[in-house]
Amino acid sequence: MFVVIGVSGGIAAYKAVQLVRLLVQHGHDVHVVPTGDALRFVGLPTWEAISRNPVTTSVHDDVPKVRHVALGQSADLVIVAPATANTLAKMAAGLADDLLGTTLLATTAPVVVAPAMHAEMWRHPATVANMAMLHERGVHVVGPDDGALTGGDRGPGRMSEPDAIVQAAYAVVGGGDLSGLRVVVSTGGTREPIDPVRFLGNRSSGKQGVAVAQAAAARGADVLLVTANVDSGVLAAASLPSSVRIETVTTTAQLQRAMTDAAPHHDVIVMAAAVADYRVAEVSDRKLTKEAAGAQERTLALVENPDILAGLVAARRDGQTIVGFAAETPGEGETLVARGRRKRARKGVDLLAVNEVGWSTGFESDDNAVIVIDAADDVVAEVRASKRAVADTLWDAVSAVRAPRR
Ligand code: CTP
């Protein structure tokens, strides 16, 4: 979700840092718009570091991107926390003399305000009238709480706690369409050791599976991500919310164990990992040398690995949805769709995401082109986009498959 957090100039701005942090942890794309006064309480570097996005306060910043309205237009949700008496008055009057004002006028997204001020200001007829006006316009209000205020006085005026604000916001926009769903996603590529320094592996970067996990978390799912040899940079770039549990494996046997153990506890299983089909029959304890081979050719005996997906499908419990991935090279006398249909049937999965790969397509890139085939052999989605957008399309397909059950 694209969330804009407006911060106005009150001491409670320090608590808004935690609010931003929570929403980032939940996987949202958070953009902070502090007023000039807010920056006297909490500085710009803090907002940028915590939100992981650039922060500007002036309508004259980033003019080519029309920033003064762009943030409001892109927002799925706007939260103003703390909302001071002054900011609430400006909102009620529709004033737009700073970036927060223009953003609020440019948005059609739900707006949640978390007022914070002294009890006298909260009770003042001007504030009461402004709140009534905002309420009438559909602005949602959380708090203020009753309690100790900054000057040692007590009364209504404390900004609500960050998690209460998040909950209130989720109540307005929904906690995500996958909320309550437990999903396990495998990604990366398994490696089979040959000797202590070499392995058999594949080119899968794991980016698509990481994006699948990222999208699920952002949409409210409870996510376990099993990574097989995924570069730490790929995981860091995704900045997964801390709620995503990560388990690391190397070989096919380890991946099989992780997935088989996890499967009974999850509603949806996505096998995005590229599994090594074979492993070396006899792994050498010592590094293989040319000298010992004594010839220009060397033969490695391989044995077939278990089909993890087949095992998961065989053990599938009621209500569980299983999704496979297939990377196919076209031009073998069969279309991608036909190959996909055959593989989906062979694997017995509810959905198969098929992508075309070649020497220079499909791997390591940030984009992907995928078709999704369901159990009725229908192509339910066809998408060429960023791996994150592909992931969202896949979750839409999963939701559609599960719709009758929910
Ligand atoms: N898969 C698996 N275990 C294996 C091989 C594959 O679980 N030993 C899963 C992959 O994670 C993927 C799906 O099966 O979700 C399809 O992978 P693919 O390599 O295309 O399947 P194969 O059966 O190996 O088909 P092919 O012979 O065409 O390589």
Does residue 260 sit in the same domain as residue 401?
A: yes
Does residue 162 sit in the same domain as residue 191?
A: no
* Sheet of 111-115, strands arranged across: 29-34, 2-7, 77-83, 111-115, 140-141
Going by alpha carbons, the residue nearest to atom 20 of ligand 1 is 326
191 Cα: distance to centroid of ligand 1 (angstroms): 14
Burial annotation 56-82 (CB, 10 A radius, 16+ → b, else e): bbebeeeeeeebbbebbeebebbbbbb
Does residue 141 sit in the same domain as residue 265?
A: no
* Residue 225: per-residue pLDDT: 98
Does residue 217 sit in the same domain as residue 146?
A: no
Give the domain CATH number at 146: 3.40.50.1950
Please list the residues that pair with 222 across neighbouring strands. Answer: 182
271 Cα: distance to centroid of ligand 1 (angstroms): 9
Give every CB contact of residue 110 below 8 A, 6+ residues apart in sequence.
Answer: 77, 78, 138, 140, 172, 173
Going by alpha carbons, the residue nearest to atom 22 of ligand 1 is 277
Give residue 86's pLDDT band: very low, low, confident or very high (50, 70, 90): very high
d(CA 209, CA 188): 7
Does residue 304 sit in the same domain as residue 389?
A: yes
Q: Which of 156, 173, 190 is the last residue of a domain?
A: 173
Does residue 138 sit in the same domain as residue 45?
A: yes
Q: Using DSSP bridges, classify how beta strands 351-356 and 302-304 pair: parallel, antiparallel or unpaired.
A: unpaired
Provide the domain limits for residue 124: 2-173
Statement: residue 144 has pLDDT above 90: yes
| Contact (CB, 8 A) for 3 and 31 | yes
Tell me the average pLDDT across 335-361.
90
Domain total of the chain = 2
171 Cα: distance to centroid of ligand 1 (angstroms): 41
272 Cα: distance to centroid of ligand 1 (angstroms): 9
Does residue 70 sit in the same domain as residue 144?
A: yes
Statement: residue 363 has pLDDT above 80: no
Q: Which of 152, 173, 194 is the last residue of a domain?
A: 173
Of the candidates 53, 86, 130, 202, the residue annotated as catalytic is 202
Does residue 202 sit in the same domain as residue 55?
A: no
Three-state DSSP class for residue 36 = coil
Ligand 1 proximal residues by C-beta, below 6 Å: 271, 273, 275, 277, 305, 307-309, 324-326, 347
Does residue 25 sit in the same domain as residue 126?
A: yes
* Residue 273: per-residue pLDDT: 98
| Contact (CB, 8 A) for 198 and 280 | no
* Residue 68: per-residue pLDDT: 79
* Residue 63: per-residue pLDDT: 73
Does residue 164 sit in the same domain as residue 289?
A: no
Going by alpha carbons, the residue nearest to atom 27 of ligand 1 is 277
Statement: residue 359 has pLDDT above 80: no
Best residue among 208, 275, 344, 357 to mutate for probing ligand 1's pocket (most ligand atoms within 8 Å of CB) is: 275
| Contact (CB, 8 A) for 119 and 156 | yes
Which of 305, 316, 322 is closest to 255 using CA atoms?
A: 305
Three-state DSSP class for residue 161 = coil
Q: Which of 129, 151, 173 is the last residue of a domain?
A: 173
Three-state DSSP class for residue 349 = coil
| Contact (CB, 8 A) for 30 and 61 | no
| Atom nearest to 252 CA in ligand 1 | 8
48-83 residue pLDDT tens: 999 999 998 877 777 777 777 999 999 999 999 999
- Identify whether 202 is a catalytic site residue: yes
Does residue 200 sit in the same domain as residue 227?
A: yes
Give the domain CATH number at 331: 3.40.50.10300
d(CA 325, CA 348): 12
- pTM comes to 0.69
Give every CB contact of residue 243 below 8 A, 6+ residues apart in sequence.
Answer: 25, 26, 27, 217, 222, 223
199-244 residue pLDDT tens: 999 999 999 999 999 888 877 788 999 999 999 999 988 877 667 8
Statement: residue 165 has pLDDT above 60: yes
Statement: residue 338 has pLDDT above 70: yes
| Contact (CB, 8 A) for 54 and 48 | yes
CB burial of residue 29 (10 Å; 0-12, 13-18, 19+): middle
Does residue 105 sit in the same domain as residue 226?
A: no
Query: Given 3-state DSSP classes, what are the helix, strand and coil percentages for the chain, each rounded to the nearest 5?
Result: 40, 25, 35
DSSP state of 405: G
Q: Using DSSP bridges, classify how beta strands 268-271 and 321-328 pair: parallel, antiparallel or unpaired.
A: parallel
